[in-house]
């Protein structure tokens, strides 16, 4: 019985810590209330406060606006070389170094 009680206390403590950390650490403003009100609700209302934060109060990041796409049809196109062996300047520099090494021998 004591083990179950300790487990429930630790689970509640973990929920409160996670909810408060998420509330105070988010970059987007929470929904419905201010951060201070949400922290009070999370701390003073056991279990329900944390659940309310994660279901109601947590801000959702803004979604991209639908509209006409221009250019590439893919979701994301890289703007530069992805790896060093795809970079023409890098390959040119390696080729120059190899030629210089052959001349020295």
**Residue 44 belongs to some domain of the structure:** yes
- What tens digit of pLDDT does each residue of 45-64 get? 988 999 998 888 887 777 76
Count of structural domains, the chain? 1
**Residue 94 belongs to some domain of the structure:** no
pLDDT of the residue at 13: 94
- What tens digit of pLDDT does each residue of 22-48 get? 888 877 888 888 889 999 999 999 889
**Residue 12 belongs to some domain of the structure:** yes
> Quick check: 71 pLDDT over 60?
no
**Residue 36 belongs to some domain of the structure:** yes
Least confident range of 10-14, 54-58, 70-74: 70-74
**Residue 43 belongs to some domain of the structure:** yes
**Residue 9 belongs to some domain of the structure:** yes
Residue range(s) defining the domain that contains residue 13: 2-57
Strand, coil or helix: 47: coil
CA distance 101 to 9: 69
**Residue 10 belongs to some domain of the structure:** yes
CA distance 55 to 42: 12
**Residue 76 belongs to some domain of the structure:** no
């Amino acid at each position: 019985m004591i083990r179950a009680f300790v487990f429930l206390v630790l689970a509640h403590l973990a929920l409160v810590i996670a909810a408060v950390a998420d509330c105070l650490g988010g970059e987007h403003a929470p929904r419905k209330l201010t951060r201070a009100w949400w922290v009070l609700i999370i701390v003073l209302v056991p279990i329900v406060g944390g659940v309310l934060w994660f279901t109601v109060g947590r801000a959702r990041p803004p979604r991209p606006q639908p509209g006409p796409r221009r250019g590439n049809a893919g979701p994301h196109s890289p703007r530069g070389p992805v790896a060093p062996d795809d970079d023409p300047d890098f390959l040119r520099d390696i080729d120059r170094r190899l030629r210089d090494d052959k001349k020295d021998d």
